Amino acid sequence: MGISIGLVGVGSFGSGFVRLFRDHPLVERFALCDMNAERLRAAAERHQVAETYPSLDAVLRSDLQAVAIFTQHWLHAPQAIQALEAGKHVYSAVPIITLGDGDAMLDWCDRLVEAVRRTGLHYMLGETSYYHPEAMYCRRRAAEGAFGRFVYAEGEYLHDVDSPGCNLRDVARSRWGKDWDPSKSGGVPMHYPSHSIGGPLSVMRTRMTKVAAFGYALPGDDWFRPDTEGGNVLSNETALFQCANGAAVRICEYRRIGHRGREGFQLWGTDGCFVEGHCGGSHWMTRQGAMPLAVADMRDPLPSEVWAAWRRGAASDEGVYGGHRGSHAYLVHEFVDALAHGRRPAVHAWEAVRYFAPGVIAHKSALRDGELLDIPDWGEPS
């Protein structure tokens, strides 16, 4: 029942997942891979991992069953497809891919879904918002029918370029290293929408069908400029989506905002609502009143044997869960458990593109002054 897996990319983000994959009770063999020899050596020594590979090609030639990809975001889809075609199951960090050309990104969605369909192997996108405590709680309430019929949702990812918690200028310099130059600034906010879209869609179990969006350009912006790759000047994008279930969803992706940063969602139904206050915490609301929600009460329990294995390597109970609101532990467990038991993991390829493509079309709408546009869909898993 145990599986074998290689983690590809032991930079600052990937390193945060090593302990979780290595110590999961269903992982019987674990390896590390990185093209930077010194970084790989240091990570293997620090995490006490004996099996290492110097390149993606090398790890794909091995007899490992799966790979977890934590490389640069523009490599995710090509490398995931390469791994699938080499016979490996794939866990990929978010996003599916990010490019300046929206049509090219939609083409990669086509290729990814087709590769999963053709190979019959499993792909899982590591969308952190899927396992935020609030999303887990709302999925439980939705399964009970407590929302009634879904009416409206809001999702937002507010991350200022110069956020002191995660400065995007520093991220870019770290990502590109000596190859960084000013043309590699900018980007398109709606080309990475899964953190704001993933929460509400994971609860409603629906897809977005239409969108009208508007953008904001900061005068004289030194980061979102026409001379960057892709030439996008819109730092903030606001979209209103129509969903297949009849609900409307407002999504905000903002990179110029005087706010400490926020990633979350709210969801209204005919019988119950989930409201995430900006300062007052989360509440379940009905006509009878509001019930405050604690993080510990919103989380799903991890299996006792998994918790015990991870707790031995963590400094505290909270340290078991890892980063991004404690989502890392759940992402790893879901992927490993799905492979070990031969089932399709959460946020599989067909679900992943539903968190991704709406943002691409929203940006197209924003460039067309809010024109209502149809959103493509790839159907259901096959």
* Digit-coded pLDDT (tens) for 328-371: 999 999 999 999 999 999 999 999 999 999 999 999 999 999 99
CB atoms within 10 A of CB 343: 10
Q: Would you state the structure tokens that stand for residue 129, as one six-digit string?
A: 């918002």
Summarize the confidence of residues 226-254 as an average pLDDT.
96
> What whole-number distance in Å separates Cα of residue 206 and Cα of residue 201?
6
Q: What domains sit in the chain, N to C, each tagged with a CATH number? A: 3-128 (3.40.50.720), 129-301+352-374 (3.30.360.10)
Asked whether the CA dihedral 321, 75, 363, 167 is positive or negative, the reply is: positive
Distance of CA 103 to the CA centre of its chain: 20
Please choose, from the candidates 241, 247, 239, 263, the residue with its C-alpha nearest in 3D space to the C-alpha of residue 203: 247
> What whole-number distance in Å separates Cα of residue 135 and Cα of residue 141?
10
Q: Would you state the structure tokens that stand for residue 89, as one six-digit string?
A: 């199951």
Please choose, from the candidates 356, 208, 199, the residue with its C-alpha nearest in 3D space to the C-alpha of residue 282: 199
What pLDDT is attached to residue 174? 83
Residue 14, pLDDT > 80, answer yes
What pLDDT is attached to residue 280? 66
Residue 265, pLDDT > 90, answer yes
Is 83 in contact with 91 (CB distance < 8 Å)?
A: no
Of residues 205 and 382, more confidence is placed in: 205
> What whole-number distance in Å separates Cα of residue 296 and Cα of residue 140?
14
Q: Would you state the structure tokens that stand for residue 175, as one six-digit string?
A: 């990502």
Taking only the tens place, the pLDDT of each residue in 29-42 is: 999 999 999 999 99
Among 61-70, 256-265, 309-318, the range with the most confident prediction by mean pLDDT is 61-70
Please choose, from the candidates 239, 225, 95, the residue with its C-alpha nearest in 3D space to the C-alpha of residue 161: 225
- Which residue bears the tokens 């390829």? 349
Cis previous bond, 345, omega within 30: no
Residue 179, pLDDT > 90, answer no
What pLDDT is attached to residue 278? 54
Residue 381, pLDDT > 90, answer yes
Taking only the tens place, the pLDDT of each residue in 69-121 is: 999 999 999 999 999 999 999 999 999 999 989 999 999 999 999 999 999 99
Determine the 3-state secondary structure of 368 from DSSP.
Answer: coil
- Which residue bears the tokens 């119950």? 272
Is 292 in contact with 301 (CB distance < 8 Å)?
A: no
Q: Would you state the structure tokens that stand for residue 53, as one six-digit string?
A: 């590979």
With a CB cutoff of 8 Å and minimum separation 6, the contacts of 3 are 26, 27, 28, 29, 65, 66, 336, 339, 340
> What whole-number distance in Å separates Cα of residue 341 and Cα of residue 264?
31
